[in-house]
């Protein structure tokens, strides 16, 4: 029976005691670029589990021969603990929790532990398949690119849409009312899911549309040994982004951000090169905007529907045309005393006073219309530009 642990113990900093074992030190076979491998390695470091890390090169090396002889699946990570061989990262983490850490990082209750194990299985299977093999790998790693560029683009777009679905689930379900994805305590599931998600950083993916996910990811990146375990990941991320910048800057022999298009075109002509400039939307890499753009483009292949237009649709253009003709005629009325008062035709501002008499007086004063400028002649009112003295 597992011993009872105190509720107040933080599960990132609690290290299990090193067990004294009669067999050899456990060996963990990994590829440091693999997210599941990093999750296993980080758990062993955080909880001071004695181990030997063996980097596997499937193309050469004595370790690869030993590895292939022991594990028929030939996939990493693999844990060899004496006669026990465990493969698949969720199974390895559960084995380590049971035999070395008394389930540290999995929660205190059976309910919490089963929830964490379920999240590990999801992260290792569906989430890793989407983030890694359908999006980040075919984008940043040549080894995983499809030979046909168009097919590769379709794969990446599909992966991006699926990634959006998973991020929505994290944002609106798991992180809506709790600090971490398994509850209000940090678990090994947080490390695993975050380790998989950061692979999207290779593509420059912006998570600003998911504030809860961003806040949670920032906290998880501060756990012990994160930086050490993710050195290889950060190296690939840096090199991928740097390569894209250098491809542009080396061609123009200047940083791309300060290159003027005309100067670049003239420079390319002198070098005997043909340059075709392509418009690149500013929202590339912003997940929600890319999904919206892709859905919008689908409308281009939809049939055109004939719909009757309402008369209200013609109101604005007709009023605009009439107003332009009216303004053109009013511009010629320079002798009209009201032209200087209001040279541009616009909608009259309605008065804000409740007393209509006050509005009449103010309007008359504004346009110079008063008893001093109007005389009566044979029953008709005649406007005069100057005051008229009556007998």
Q: Give the per-residue pLDDT at 102.
A: 93
What is the maximum span of the chain, computed from C-alpha positions, in angstroms?
131
Q: Give the per-residue pLDDT at 316.
A: 84
Asked if residues 195 and 35 have their Cβ atoms less than 8 Å apart, the reply is yes
Range of 243's domain?
Answer: 234-300
CB-hemisphere CA count at 13 Å for 230? Answer: 23
Q: Where among 86, 101, 116 does a domain terminate?
A: 101
Cis peptide before 77 (omega within 30 of 0): yes
Q: 84 and 50 in one domain?
A: yes
Any idea what the CATH number is for the domain that residue 81 is in?
A: 3.40.30.10
Q: Which two tokens stand for residue 111?
A: 């309910």
Asked if residues 80 and 27 have their Cβ atoms less than 8 Å apart, the reply is yes
Query: Is residue 35 in some structural domain?
Result: yes
Q: How many domains does the chain have?
A: 4
Q: 341 and 325 in one domain?
A: yes
Q: Give the per-residue pLDDT at 242.
A: 41
Query: Is residue 182 in some structural domain?
Result: no
Q: 322 and 265 in one domain?
A: no
Q: Where among 101, 130, 165 does a domain terminate?
A: 101
Q: Give the per-residue pLDDT at 133.
A: 93
Q: 359 and 329 in one domain?
A: no
Query: Is the sign of the CA dihedral 322, 327, 332, 335 positive or negative?
Result: positive
Q: Give the per-residue pLDDT at 140.
A: 80
CA distance 346 to 104: 74
Query: Is residue 276 in some structural domain?
Result: yes
Q: 87 and 62 in one domain?
A: yes
Query: Is residue 127 in some structural domain?
Result: no
Q: Where among 101, 134, 149 does a domain terminate?
A: 101
Query: Is residue 199 in some structural domain?
Result: no
Q: 68 and 90 in one domain?
A: yes
Q: 41 and 86 in one domain?
A: yes
The number of beta carbons lying within 10 Å of the beta carbon of residue 23 is: 9
CA distance 95 to 88: 11
Q: 387 and 327 in one domain?
A: no
CA distance 181 to 187: 8
Query: Is residue 14 in some structural domain?
Result: no
Q: 374 and 319 in one domain?
A: no
- In 210-314, which residue ranges form alpha helices assigned H by DSSP? 211-220, 226-229, 231-252, 261-270, 287-297
CA distances from 139 to 24, 62, 135, 153 (A): 41, 32, 6, 9
Query: Is residue 97 in some structural domain?
Result: yes
Q: 31 and 71 in one domain?
A: yes
Query: Is residue 337 in some structural domain?
Result: yes
Q: 42 and 81 in one domain?
A: yes
CA distance 193 to 174: 12
pLDDT 10s digit of each residue in the chain, 391 long?
333 333 333 333 222 333 334 457 899 988 888 899 999 999 999 999 999 998 887 666 565 666 666 666 678 899 989 889 898 999 999 999 999 999 999 999 999 999 999 999 999 999 999 999 999 888 888 888 899 888 988 998 899 889 999 999 999 999 999 999 999 999 999 999 999 999 888 887 888 889 999 999 999 999 999 988 888 666 555 454 444 433 444 343 444 443 455 565 665 666 666 666 666 666 666 666 777 777 777 676 667 677 777 778 888 888 888 888 888 888 888 888 777 777 888 766 666 667 778 777 777 777 777 666 655 444 454 444 443 333 3
- In 127-210, which residue ranges form alpha helices assigned H by DSSP? 128, 137-140, 149-169, 188-197
């Amino acid at each position: 029976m597992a011993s009872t642990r105190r509720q107040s113990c933080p599960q990132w900093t609690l290290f299990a005691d090193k067990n004294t074992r009669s067999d050899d030190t456990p060996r963990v076979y990994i590829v440091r670029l693999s997210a599941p491998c990093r999750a296993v390695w980080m758990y062993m470091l955080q909880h001071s589990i004695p181990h030997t890390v063996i980097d596997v090169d499937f193309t050469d090396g004595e370790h690869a021969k030993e590895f292939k002889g022991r594990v028929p699946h030939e996939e990493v990570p693999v844990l060899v603990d004496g006669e026990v061989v465990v493969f698949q990262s969720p199974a390895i983490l559960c084995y380590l929790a049971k035999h070395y850490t008394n389930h540290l990082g999995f929660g205190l209750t059976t309910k919490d532990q089963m929830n964490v194990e379920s999240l590990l299985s999801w992260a290792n299977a569906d989430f890793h398949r989407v983030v890694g093999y359908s999006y980040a790998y075919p984008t940043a790693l040549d080894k995983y690119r499809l030979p046909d560029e168009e097919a590769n683009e379709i794969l990446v777009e599909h992966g991006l849409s699926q990634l959006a679905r998973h991020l929505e689930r994290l944002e609106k379900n798991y992180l809506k009312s709790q600090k971490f994805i398994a509850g209000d305590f940090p678990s090994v599931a947080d490390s695993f899911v975050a380790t998989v998600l950061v692979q999207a950083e290779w593509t420059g993916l912006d998570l600003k549309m998911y504030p809860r996910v961003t806040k949670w990811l920032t906290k998880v990146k501060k756990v012990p040994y994160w930086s050490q375990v993710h050195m290889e990941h950060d190296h690939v991320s840096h090199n991928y982004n740097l390569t894209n910048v250098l491809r542009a800057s080396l061609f123009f022999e200047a940083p791309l951000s300060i290159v003027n298009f005309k100067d670049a075109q003239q420079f390319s002509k002198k070098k005997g090169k043909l340059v075709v400039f392509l418009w690149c939307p500013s929202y590339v890499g912003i997940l929600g905007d890319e999904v919206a753009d892709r859905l919008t483009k689908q409308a281009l292949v939809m049939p055109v529907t004939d719909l009757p237009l309402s008369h209200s649709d013609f109101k604005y253009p007709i009023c605009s045309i009439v107003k332009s003709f009216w303004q053109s005629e009013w511009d010629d009325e320079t002798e009209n005393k009201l032209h200087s008062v209001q040279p541009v035709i616009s909608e009259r501002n309605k008065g804000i006073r409740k007393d209509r008499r006050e509005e009449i007086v103010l309007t008359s004063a504004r346009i110079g219309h008063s008893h001093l400028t109007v005389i009566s002649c044979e029953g008709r009112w005649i406007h005069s530009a100057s005051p008229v003295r009556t007998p």
